[in-house]
Amino acid sequence: MLHWSISLFRIRGIRLAVHVSFFLLLAYVAYQGWHTAPGAHWRGLIWSVSYVLLLFTCVVLHELGHALTARHFGVGVPRILLLPVGGMAEFDSIPREPRQEILIALAGPAVNFGLIACLLFIVPPPSRHELLTSDLTFRSLVQHILTMNFAMGCFNLVPVFPMDGGRVLRALLARQMPYVRATFWAATVGKFFAALAIGLALTGMFFTQAWVGGALLALLFTFIFWAGENEYRTVRIEDADRVRWKL
């Protein structure tokens, strides 16, 4: 499924690609924007599409934070892939030195908090009322992007492997135990919370009838669950290959 992507362009030698399903999200957002602004269909459509495109620009910058820090430590980063649930930088390998992994992991959220500092020069922090409503203005658009950068930065610091906070957890555990075992425990903690979040998202869908939002959250945490288990298996295979090579 991750191979169904379209290459866009390169940023400092890193290929930026978008999964075809992203365009379904864009079409849905355009449809919602058209129908949620009575008497201002085009304005609503343009605001909604601009919001998603700017939001995913921030996602790309977040992933570039990871990618460029990883390249500083000699790690190859062939591609950044955008998905409807976010983005991911694909590394040739993950440094097993805890300090390097921590710096790579924290670089993404650091970009989000840096963007917040820059956006605060343009607009003030939004009030609760401004977040719950949108007047389809430039100010409202920027305030929503500011808020989402805060949410993105904090969310990625949650210790759910293989999210950024989970990688920090793995690196800290790796200081006290073998790398494979540290990965196992980080992945186990991540899968537990991912499974819990999937259950809450699906339950919320039925009580709030927020079908699309609930489905996207469930899809996001399903992907996190799969990615954590997949990375643990990869690390275990690599470790076994190292042992055989030594023998």
**For residue 91, which of 66, 62, 56 has the smallest C-alpha distance?**
66
* Residue 124 DSSP label: P
Record the tokens describing residue 112, joined without a space. 């989000």
| CA 159 to chain CA centroid, nearest Å | 14
**Catalytic residue ranges:** 63
Burial class (CB in 10 A: 0-12, 13-18, 19+), 145: buried
* Residue 163 DSSP label: S
Q: Count H helices and E strands in the chain, helices first.
A: 8, 4
- CA torsion sign for 214, 42, 9, 14 is negative
Q: State phi, psi for 36 to the nearest 5 degrees.
A: -100, 5
Neighbouring residues of 30: CB distance < 8 A, sequence distance ≥ 6: 45, 48, 49
Record the tokens describing residue 163, joined without a space. 């999210």
- Residue 15, sorted as left (phi over 0), alpha (psi -120 to 50) or beta, turns out to be beta
Record the tokens describing residue 171, joined without a space. 């690196």
